[in-house]
Chain A
Amino acid sequence: MYQTTYHRASSVDEAASLFAKGSEPKYLAGGHTLLPVMKQRLASPSDVIDIARIKDLIGIEVTGDAVTIRAATTHNDVANSAAVQKAIPALAHLASTIGDPAVRHRGTIGGSLANNDPAADYPAAVLALGATIKTNKRTIAADDFFKGLFTTALDDGEMITAVSFPIPAKGGYSKFPHPASRFALTGVFAVKTKAGDVRVAATGAFQGGVARVGAIEAALKTNWAASALDSVTVSADGLMSDIHAAADYRANLIKVMAQRAVQAAG
């Protein structure tokens, strides 16, 4: 690790002003992405601004229409929240599949979304549920947030403060873990909104990161049933290929995981 200066911010504003002062600053939440990268000397922030203990960034609120998770809430808190389990069980389930207990007790939803790893789980939920990302400057719709591998709509220094998920009529997440990293080799979140829309997002599969799967959405819109996907073919174009899964295998996984997500959604 290179030399860096550590700050612990006590409010969102203080964090933002510390950020503005640094030459190459970085927010630090759970540190489960940032710290390993720093240890490998692949990142060398001048200042590390710890936002994980800002009270305003921690907590979950559930209303009749939405589940709002503040940015520094850990995966473990989401997985074990009775309110989330009741309102959007698939979201709690998704959080429970992230990494291992140590990771879930540190990693945060804000860090995960800001990082936008192409194999991370949360992006699938955010996109499929049509969530809204709240930052210290504005709100961003899920469809506008993810901009490709490790890239988002966030401006430099812009901080995610919360994510608001509309409660769907039905929602399911099915993840096929990467055998080594246990991130999603392919994970599919399938949603039927209260308005009757169908939104299906796949993570871990696309070269450009999380994306919706039109062929699956169309079939499920006609018939919300796993069997409705039997005859659907997912194209392997634009899918990742690596030693663990070739593109055609990932295409198969998108379909099979979608079927299982629908089954899980009920």
Chain B
Amino acid sequence: MGIEGIGASVVRKEDKRFITGKGRYVDDIKLVGMTHAHFIRSPHPHAKIKGIDASAALKMPGVLAVLNGKELVDDKIGNLICGWMIHSKDGSPMKMGAWPAMAPEVVRFVGQAVAVVIAESKNQARDAAEAVVVDYEELPAVADVKAAIAPGAPQLHPEAPGNQVYDWVIGDEAAVNDAFSKAANVVTMELSNNRLVPNAMEPRAAIADYDAAEEHFTLYTTSQNPHVARLVLSAFYNIAPEHKLRVIAPDVGGGFGSKIYIYPEEMVALWASKKVGRPVKWTGDRTESFLTDAHGRDHVTKAEMAFDKDHKITGLRVKTYANFGGYMSLFSSSVPTYLYATLLSGQYTIPAIHAEVIGVYTNTTPVDAYRGAGRPEASYLLERMMETAARQLKVDPAELRKKNFITQFPHQTPVIMAYDAGDFNASLDAAMKAIDYAGFPSRKAKAKSEGKLRGIGVSCYIEACGIAPSKAVGSLGAGVGLWESAEVRVNPVGTIEVLTGSHSHGQGHETAFAQLVADRLGISINQVQIVHGDTDKVQFGMGTYGSRSAAVGLTAILKAMEKVEAKAKKIAAHQLEASEADIVIEGGEFKVTGTDKKIALPMVALAAYTAHNLPDGMEPGLKESAFYDPSNFTFPAGSYICELEVDPGTGKTTFVNFVAADDFGRLINPMIVEGQVHGGLAQGIGQALLEHAVYDGNGQPVTASFMDYAMPRADDLPSFKLSHTTTLCPGNPLGVKGCGEAGAIGSSAAVINAITDAIGNNALEMPATPDRVWRAMQG
């Protein structure tokens, strides 16, 4: 592997600039003549806008413009789109209301923008915003998903009667009914999956710069996928054609999905920049993050699982209500359908599965993909079901899982997914060994003698990552292809720039991607620069989400590398007067096997560019590109076990131990992988114990700051024990599967299973706050 090659825990190249405060985020960028935007947002969850009076504001110092939703619509700026078409069980397409970037007539959630002030300074814009008078007529509102589909509920969009976006089904209902009619045991649960706020460390921001002479826009934005942003802005929002729009996502401080989408603020900044003829900057504050970043999760589900007399699962029936908020965000429709219900087989052989998902509008912030996106909801559901089933059947929860594990691959589930490889017993065994599962009963007894309630909880997750292939997702309704592109440029003196369509906002691509190149050529990662996040530099790309960057993005780099190496070998062979087949690359040199003849990479590169002595007919230069479209998803999987104690007096949970045994296929940089798992676990544990975006009955957010929304902190978390079991992914040449979301997907159920084990009451919802746990202990 080499000290900087694949499998080496190389220290991250990018950390020097991040740790020393030299990162360059959107808000760090200051353009000449830049103006500042401040949005006026609805304080009401549901209201008609009867009028907006900006006359006083327009006279205030520094104010250049106050623009509203009517003007935006008049200028034919397109409505926000939802890019994945879902059909209801009756065949009808999903029913969506329009989402203009600023509301012209009706607001449908607290925080929705109705107007924007553009001023010389941010403070002047804020001052003027307070002088804008918006006349609202309040309408009845509904925030709860079940309340929203009840008869007589306030109606959000005329296009979606009963607030229902779709009623989608998957699987074989008759087969499931048959399984249940013959079942020896049935386990039934009602579960909710709490709404979360992503809370990336860097709030969203945008700077739009219109060049009137060139009729060209530049947008600096906090995006996980700048090319998709440009595509959508130009194809659907009527901002500018692609060649007249450059989108740059510089350093981005975390996304977790929330920065995939193209938000109203970027659109308005672009439009406003042209209107005022000056660059326009908007930097969201934390309150705006809470109110307007797409939220995650928010499901209410009833699930039933059928078992035969040997405790083998024979069927699964699921009905889920998914809360979409006031509008359909960019990929929202796919999250509770193709990213959720297709994973309902988990790690188990389940012959028959049927799921129905009802997507619902409510007067809340729009919901979309958030770390794991659908898969945490599926995993939480299944793993609570398995634990509950074990308790009901009075068998060991690990044994019940093992009895039902899929052991033969490939495995076709009844819900589309075809698992390519895995070894679920290996990861569960590793986790059980790491936590000394066998010794738990005596630890529990000892804790009891000390007045503590101790519990253990298992969770075995599987996820589908590297979201692909394009043809398959296209047939399921996706509006985009899900390949990735790469370009490898060897400079004349042998340093290398790799352009990737993936985007790094915390994942460490600048290091991990360089390691592949270093590994292939036997050079240092310092000779390699990863370039990403700029549509003017990288031709196209799909960005980073769904743990896809290694499996798809890095494989694209590999494909481009192979082309570069092939050409370089030809040049080397020509220079060394050897046969191309005899050339090997080692330690940055091209060697003729079995001889001491060699030529260093910089000389090969130089030869390619001087072109004085190239093989006949060869083009000069050493630069290749590739587009890689995988043949399948990848399927990371693993087992998490959590051991904890509950304080009988307060219901507070304290971790004793948390072990994770993951199968991510080949690891490029184990240290980065570990960091990804830590972060994911923190978010999954945060969901289990702390985080909850709450609305009151009228649609007012109750948790719009860190004073009320409990983010996990270091001392809320245990010191994790991580390990890996490995089956290589057969779907890509590197054998990688992806690791970005696993922690968030698998951990919540382990925590709740452990708490319910400790307190002996299974009726517990997330977040398991001390109050809820204490209440559950009272019986």
Interface string of B764-779 (1 = CB under 8 A from A): 0000011100110000
Is residue A41 contacting chain B, with contact meaning CB distance below 8 A?
yes
| Inter-chain contact B123/A243, CB cutoff 8 Å | no
Roughly how many angstroms separate A1 CA and B123 CA in the complex, as a whole number?
Answer: 8
Residues in A187-235 with C-beta less than 8 Å from chain B:
none
Is B708's CB under 8 angstroms from A243's CB? Answer: yes
**Docked complex Cα distance between A260 and B652 (Å):** 14
Residues of chain B with a CB closer than 8 A to A246's CB? 771
Complex Cα gap A40–B126 (Å): 11
Interface membership of B706, Cβ < 8 A: yes
Cβ contacts B690-704/A at 8 Å (1 or 0 each): 101010000000110
Q: Are the C-beta atoms of A243 and B690 separated by less than 8 Å?
A: no
Asked if residues A243 and B650 are in contact (CB atoms below 8 Å), the reply is: no
Q: Kindly list chain A residues whose C-beta atoms are within 8 Å of the C-beta of B775.
A: 249
Interface string of B743-779 (1 = CB under 8 A from A): 0000000000000000000000000011100110000
Cβ of A124 < 8 Å from any Cβ of B? Answer: no
B-side interface residues, number (CB < 8 Å): 26
Q: Which of A239-260 contact B (CB under 8 A)?
A: 243-246, 249, 252-253, 256, 259-260
B43 to chain A, nearest CB (A): 14
Q: How far is the CA of A84 from the CA of B305 in the complex (A)?
A: 61
Query: Residue B709 at the A interface, CB < 8 A?
Result: yes
Q: Are A179 and B769 in contact (CB under 8 A)?
A: yes
Q: With an 8 A cutoff between CB atoms, is A181 at the interface?
A: yes
From known contacts A179-B690, A252-B774, infer whether A244 and B769 are also in contact, taking CB-CB under 8 Å. yes
Tell whether A41 pairs with B771 under 8 Å between CB atoms, given A179-B710, A180-B709, A256-B649: no
A245 contacts B707, C-beta separation under 8 Å: no
Task: Please provide the chain B residues from 369 to 428 with a CB less than 8 Å away from any CB of chain A in the complex.
Answer: none
With both beta carbons as reference points, the residue of chain B lying nearest to A183 in the complex is identified as: B707
Q: Please, which residues of chain B bring their CB within 8 A of the CB of A244?
A: 708, 710, 769, 771
| A119–chain B nearest beta-carbon distance, Å | 10
* Complex: A236 Cα to B445 Cα, angstroms: 34
How many whole Å from B196's CB to the nearest CB in chain A?
A: 14
Asked if A243 and B649 sit within 8 Å, CB to CB, the answer is no
Minimum CB distance partner of A256 in chain B:
B649
Complex alpha-carbon distance, A243 and B774, angstroms: 14
**B708 x A253 contact (CB < 8 A):** no
Q: A243-B702, A243-B703 are in contact. Are A249 and B774 (CB under 8 A)?
A: yes
Query: Would B649 and A181 count as touching, CB distance under 8 A?
Result: no
Looking at the complex, which one of B689, B702, B771 makes contact with A245 (CB distance below 8 Å)? Answer: B771
Q: Is B711 located at the chain interface by the 8 A CB criterion?
A: yes
Q: Which residues of B contact A180 (CB under 8 A)?
A: 690, 703, 706-711
- Closest-CB distance, A77 to chain B (whole angstroms): 23
Best-surrounded residue of A244, A253, A259 (most CB of chain B within 10 A):
A244
> What are the residues of chain A within 8 A of B126 when measuring CB–CB?
41
- Say which residue of A41, A181, A243, A249 sits within 8 Å of B692 (CB atoms): A243
- Max count, chain A CB within 10 A of own CB: residue among B706, B770, B771, B774: B771
Q: How far is the CA of A176 from the CA of B692 in the complex (A)?
A: 19
Q: What total of A-B pairs shows CB separation below 8 Å? A: 50
Which parts of A120-168 form the interface with B (CB within 8 Å)?
Answer: none
| Size class of the A contact interface (CB-based, 8 Å) | 10 to 19
Bound together, the chains give a CA A179 to CA B769 distance in angstroms of 8
Q: Looking across the interface, which residue of chain B has its beta carbon closest to that of A180?
A: B710
Q: Which residues of B contact A256 (CB under 8 A)?
A: 649-650
Q: How far is the CA of A249 from the CA of B769 in the complex (A)?
A: 11
* Complexed CA–CA distance, A40 and B288 (Å): 12
Q: How far is the CA of A252 from the CA of B773 in the complex (A)?
A: 13
Chain A residue at minimum C-beta to C-beta distance from B130:
A41
B708 pairs with A176, CB closer than 8 A: no
The contact string, 1 if C-beta is below 8 Å from chain B, for chain A 39-60, is 0110000000000000000000
B750 to chain A, nearest CB (A): 20
| Residue of A with least CB distance to B692 | A243
Give bound CA distance, A243 to B711, whole Å.
15
Give Cα A256–Cα B123 distance, bound, in whole angstroms. Answer: 48
Closest chain-A Cβ to B451's Cβ sits at a distance in Å of: 12
Give the distance in Å from the alpha carbon of A37 to the alpha carbon of B770 in the complex. Answer: 29
Q: How far apart are the CA atoms of A181 and B709 in the complex, in Å?
A: 8
| Distance (whole angstroms) from the CB of A43 to the closest CB of chain B | 14
Q: Give the residues from 53 to 108 in chain A that come closer than 8 angstroms, CB to CB, to chain B.
A: none
Q: How far is the CA of A244 from the CA of B123 in the complex (A)?
A: 35
Select from chain A the residue with minimum beta-carbon distance to B705: A180
Encode B257-295 as 1/0 by CB contact (under 8 A) with A.
000000000000000000000000000000100000000
In angstroms, Cα B689 to Cα A179, docked, is 9
| A1 proximity list for chain B (CB < 8 A) | 123
Chain A residue with Cβ nearest B690:
A179
Interface string of B96-127 (1 = CB under 8 A from A): 00000000000000000000000000010011
**Chain A hits for B690, CB < 8 A:** 179-180
CB distance from A175 to the nearest CB of B (A): 11
In the assembled complex, the Cα of A180 lies from the Cα of B689 at a distance in Å of 11
**Chain B contacts for A40, CB-based, 8 A:** 287
Chain B residues within 8 Å of A41, by CB: 126, 130
Cα A259 to Cα B649 in complex, Å, equals 10
CA distance A123 to B126 in the complex (A): 36
Q: What chain A residues lie within 8 Å of B770 (beta carbons)?
A: 176, 179, 245, 249
User: Which chain B positions have C-beta within 8 A of A260?
Assistant: 649
Whether the Cβ atoms of A176 and B650 lie closer than 8 Å is yes
CA distance A176 to B703 in the complex (A): 20
Q: How far is the CB of B144 from chain A (nearest CB, A)?
A: 14
CB nearest neighbor in A for B707: A181
Alpha-carbon distance A259/B451, docked complex (angstroms)? 15
A255 CB to closest chain B CB (Å) equals: 8
Q: How far is the CA of A238 from the CA of B709 in the complex (A)?
A: 24
Q: Which of chain B's residues has its CB closest to A40's CB?
A: B287
Expressed in whole angstroms, the Cα–Cα distance for A259 and B650 within the complex equals: 12
Q: Give the chain B neighbours of A179 by CB distance below 8 A.
A: 689-690, 710, 769-770
Interfacial chain A residues near B774, Cβ < 8 Å:
249, 252
How long is the Cα–Cα vector from A99 to B3 in the complex, in angstroms?
43
Contact partners of B127 in chain A: CB under 8 A: 2
From A181, A245, A253, B706 is in contact (CB under 8 Å) with A181
Closest-CB distance, A252 to chain B (whole angstroms): 7
Looking at the assembled complex, report how far the CB atom of B192 sits from the nearest CB atom of chain A, in whole angstroms: 14
Within 8 A of B (CB), among A1-33: 1-2
Q: A115 → chain B, closest Cβ, in Å?
A: 14
Q: Which residues of A contact B710 (CB under 8 A)?
A: 179-180, 244
Min Cβ gap A245→B in Å is 5
CB distance from B55 to the nearest CB of A (A): 22
Which residues on A sit within 8 Å (CB–CB) of B649?
252, 256, 259-260
- Given A181-B706, A243-B702, A249-B771 contact (CB < 8 Å): yes
Contacts of A259 in B (CB 8 A): 649
Q: How far is the CA of A260 from the CA of B771 in the complex (A)?
A: 18
Measured in the bound complex, the distance between the Cα atoms of B58 and A3 in whole Å is 20
Chain A residue with Cβ nearest B774:
A249
A92 to B775, CA, bound (A): 33
Within the complex, the shortest CB–CB distance from B694 to chain A, in Å, comes to 5
Please give, as numbers and ranges, the residues of chain B lying within 8 Å of A176 by CB-CB distance.
650, 652, 770
Complex contacts, B708 vs chain A, CB 8 Å: 180-181, 243-244
A contact residues vs B (CB 8 Å cutoff): 1-2, 40-41, 176, 179-181, 243-246, 249, 252-253, 256, 259-260
Residues of B within 8 A of A (CB): 123, 126-127, 130, 287, 649-652, 689-690, 692, 694, 702-703, 706-711, 769-771, 774-775
Instruction: Identify 15 new A-B residue pairs, CB closer than 8 A, beyond the known A41-B126, A180-B708, A249-B651.
Output: A41-B130, A176-B652, A179-B690, A180-B703, A180-B706, A180-B707, A180-B709, A181-B706, A243-B692, A243-B703, A244-B708, A244-B710, A245-B769, A249-B770, A252-B650
**What are 23 A-B interface contacts by the 8 Å CB criterion?**
A2-B127, A40-B287, A176-B770, A179-B690, A179-B710, A180-B690, A180-B707, A180-B708, A180-B709, A180-B710, A181-B706, A181-B707, A181-B708, A243-B694, A243-B702, A243-B703, A244-B710, A249-B770, A249-B771, A249-B775, A252-B649, A256-B649, A259-B649
Across the A-B interface, give the 7 residue pairs with the lowest CB-CB distance, nearest first: A180-B710, A256-B649, A179-B710, A249-B771, A181-B707, A245-B771, A243-B694
